[in-house]
Amino acid sequence: MTTFDERAADAADTTDPVDPDPTTPTPTPPKLTLAEVLEIFAGGRLPLRFTAYDGSSAGPADAPFALDLKTPRGTTYLATGFGDLGLARAYIAGDLDIRGVHPGDPYELLKTLAESLEFKRPSPRVMAQIVRSIGFEHLRPIAPPPQEVPPRWRRVAGGLRHSKSRDAEAIHHHYDVSNTFYEWVLGPSMTYTCACYPSHEASLDEAQENKYRLVFEKLRLKPGDRLLDVGCGWGGMVRYAARRGVKATGVTLSRAQTSWAQQAILDEGLTDLAEVRYGDYRDIAETGFDAVSSIGLLEHIGVRNYPSYFRFLQSRMRPEALLLNHSITRSDNKTEPSAQGFIDRYVFPDGELTGSGRIITEAQDAGLEVLHEENLRPHYAMTLRDWCANLVERWDDAVAEIGLPAAKVWGLYMAGSRLAFETGGIQLHQVLAVKPDDRSPAGGLPLRPWWTP
């Protein structure tokens, strides 16, 4: 089968190789349609149907999924966005429609693209024809959708990366969307971290309760102990521990989370044992905690700040206290930690991920003894699956609450993340460590893990 790429190359090469006449003008190759341009980049193999506003189309007519490019602005977004950013801009702005999946859970479409679509670089001649076909005006960047934050180099006005002021702004962007929206997506647990499913049939709420149980048991908490939970979100771990007689203090940089958590503590009658504060974890003055939990905070810390992060937490622990760090990681320790494209501009500004090896190294270098680590990667894929299902169920309400563009961001982000966890691109590691006691090197801990998996 002759592809659009080959036809474009043939059209671009119109000189007579036998007896060229210099007085004869070289014919200008015909302009390509938008569908032909896409099929060139896809090597003539599109796993879905594509239609464009210029009337062109490509891909199987009976494909279960489709992309509809509706406006010239969408072409500009696609032509000027790096990596997945152009596609995200066009989709979020409404210039690119998807068909065959719900916008609250486009997982199947993303999976199809990841498995079957491989972009190829055209030859210089064909690339010149593509540029002429789409027009130079589409190669000049335009203002992105208002939901997008500025690139990292422009965020310096808000402070240096991972300064307290800039971290507060990044947290506000992601977590202060709407407590009502989060209630719909996260469910009654209001827990925005990886759940731990006791079985494939378990519900999301059962899995989140099981995750808190796992953290609680790993930390060997008992009535009367003092727990510090940094990056506590809506206070799920704080309230779980307080219900079991532990005096728990949580801290979050989200004002919306703080107000919700404080009301939940009041409603459950836990004010004598549970507290959630608004502020930076680095401002916690108390020391001597029996245990520290960090569930979903490390992703916002910045890799270069890991040494000070672990030193600070260690300084707040009594000797023989336990630390549980629960965080998303990369699958290796070599990849650049900074997020790029869609995730950085729309989801987690300034977020950084690295491998579990780097996390363990920094914890050890801060004077902590690492006792155990495990990867819950499949559990996060299942968690995201269930969050997407909740978003689909409350889609109309979510759109009314936060707007269609923001709701699209959440569907795209959660479905894409599910795919990344399933394929192993990112993982979820729990690292358990103890602060050694020089007077009792053995630490008084059991010889084998003391928790139920």
SS3 content of the chain, % helix, strand, coil (to 5): 45, 15, 40
In the CATH scheme, what is the homologous superfamily, with its name and number, of domain 164-434?
Vaccinia Virus protein VP39 (3.40.50.150)
Find out whether 218 and 432 touch, Cβ atoms under 8 Å: yes
3-state secondary structure of 415: helix
The residues spanned by each domain of the chain are 4-139, 164-434
CA-to-CA distance for 333 and 355, rounded, in angstroms? 4
176-204 burial, b at 16+ Cβ within 10 Å, e below that, comes to ebebebbbbbbbebbbbbbbbbbeeebeb
C-alpha to C-alpha distances, 163 to 157, 169, 174, 312, 316, nearest whole angstrom: 12, 10, 17, 15, 21
On whether the CB atoms of residues 321 and 434 are closer than 8 A, the answer is yes
Q: What pLDDT was estimated at residue 377? A: 98
Residues comprising the chain, all counted? 453
The token pair at 264 is 């939940």
Report how far apart, in Å, the C-alpha atoms of 23 and of each of 17, 19, 20, 28 are: 15, 12, 9, 15
pLDDT at 20: 56
Q: In what order do the strands lie in the sheet with 57-58?
A: 57-58, 49-52, 66-69, 96-99
- Burial of residue 115 (number of CB atoms within 10 Å: 0-12, 13-18, 19+): exposed
pTM: 0.89
Find, among 422, 423, 448, 444, the residue nearest to 434 by Cα: 444
Nearest Cα to Cα of residue 137 among 224, 219, 90, 73? 73
In this predicted structure, what is the pLDDT of residue 41?
A: 92
Q: What is the 3-state secondary structure (H, E, C) of 110-162?
A: HHHHHHHCCCCCCCHHHHHHHHHHHCHHHHCCCCCCCCCCCCHHHHHHHCCCC
What is the pLDDT at residue 339? 78
* One pLDDT digit (tens) per residue for the chain, 453 residues: 334 444 444 444 433 444 556 566 666 778 999 999 999 999 888 999 999 999 999 999 999 999 999 999 999 999 999 889 999 999 999 999 999 999 999 999 999 999 998 888 899 999 999 999 999 999 999 999 999 988 875 655 555 555 555 555 555 545 568 999 999 999 999 999 999 999 999 999 999 999 999 999 999 999 999 999 999 999 999 999 999 999 999 999 999 999 999 999 999 999 999 999 999 999 999 999 999 999 999 999 999 999 999 999 999 999 999 999 999 999 999 988 877 889 999 998 888 999 999 999 999 999 999 999 999 999 999 999 999 999 999 999 999 999 999 999 999 999 999 999 999 999 999 999 999 997 766 568 999 999 999
Residue 2's pLDDT is 37
Q: Measured at the alpha carbon of residue 43, what is the angle toward residues 38 and 48, in degrees to the nearest 5?
A: 60
- Give CA–CA dist 82/316, Å, rounded: 43
Q: Is the distance from CB of 217 to CB of 450 less than 8 angstroms?
A: yes
